[in-house]
Amino acid sequence: MTGPKLNEATRVAGISSGFRASTRFARLSPSKVRVVLNLVRGMDVKSADDLLRLTDRDSAHIVRKLLASAVANATNNFEQNAEELYIKACFADAGPTLKRFRPRAKGSSAAIFKRTSHITIVVDKLSDAALAIRETQSESRGGAESARRRDRVEASRARSQKSKAAAPDADANADAPVDAETETATEN
């Protein structure tokens, strides 16, 4: 199954069905693209982009570019806020198959099917209830993740400054002249 699609026939006039971007004739097998699309379906755009950046599949690179295109369509053409978008639907349909043949023994041949995909991503604005839930979750975590990271980095730098301040005292003791008695004891 290719995942939930939008039924264009039942669309209500005046209600947005989302902002879409699609690529056609992508030289990837639809089954391999669907594995990546199943990971990000229903996620908010920022989380999906982070996940796609770390996904080690060739199709993840193309899906990430396609997601960026869908977000750009929403922000530039329809003046939507990118932080309020989520992936409403995504699907990969089979495109035309390129048929190639490999020579085999005794004059026969084996078929090679090079499959192509038509990939579509639809993003839409989160509902007000979902936005309120996300806001309360971020407040309960103590603010934005970038602010928490900033606090951790500042604390780490403060610890390193303290250790550097304490280190010159130890270095001064190490550079101090050694007694003649200890030198003779080590030579014997």
How far is Cα 60 from Cα 48, in angstroms, rounded to an integer? 10
How far is Cα 84 from Cα 74, in angstroms, rounded to an integer? 11
Q: Which two tokens stand for residue 124?
A: 């839409």
Could you tell me if 40 and 116 lie in one domain?
yes
Radius of gyration of the chain (CA): 29
**pLDDT score, position 140:** 76
How far is Cα 154 from Cα 186, in angstroms, rounded to an integer? 45
Does 27 reside within a domain? Answer: yes
Could you tell me if 34 and 115 lie in one domain?
yes
DSSP-based three-state secondary structure for 98: strand
Whole domain around residue 87: which residue ranges?
Answer: 16-102+110-126
Show the 3-state SS of 99-125.
EEEEECHHHCEEEEEECCEEEEEEEEE
Could you tell me if 116 and 146 lie in one domain?
no
H-helix or E-strand spanning residue 164: helix 145-175
**pLDDT score, position 18:** 86
Q: Which amino acid is at 27?
A: R
Of 129, 113, 138, 87, nearest in space to 31 by CA: 113
The answer to whether the beta carbons of residues 82 and 71 sit under 8 Å apart is yes
- What domain count does the chain have? 2
Does 44 reside within a domain? Answer: yes
How far is Cα 133 from Cα 135, in angstroms, rounded to an integer? 5
Q: Which two tokens stand for residue 136?
A: 């309360």
Does 183 reside within a domain? Answer: no
Could you tell me if 119 and 137 lie in one domain?
no
- Per-residue pLDDT 10s for the chain (188 aa) are 555 567 665 566 666 688 999 999 999 999 999 999 999 999 999 999 999 999 999 999 999 999 999 999 999 999 999 999 999 999 999 999 999 999 999 999 999 999 999 999 999 998 888 888 888 887 777 656 667 778 888 899 999 998 888 876 555 555 556 555 555 555 55
Does 180 reside within a domain? Answer: no
Does 75 reside within a domain? Answer: yes
Q: Which amino acid is at 131?
A: L
Does 28 reside within a domain? Answer: yes
Could you tell me if 20 and 95 lie in one domain?
yes
The widest CA-to-CA distance across the chain, in whole angstroms, is 98
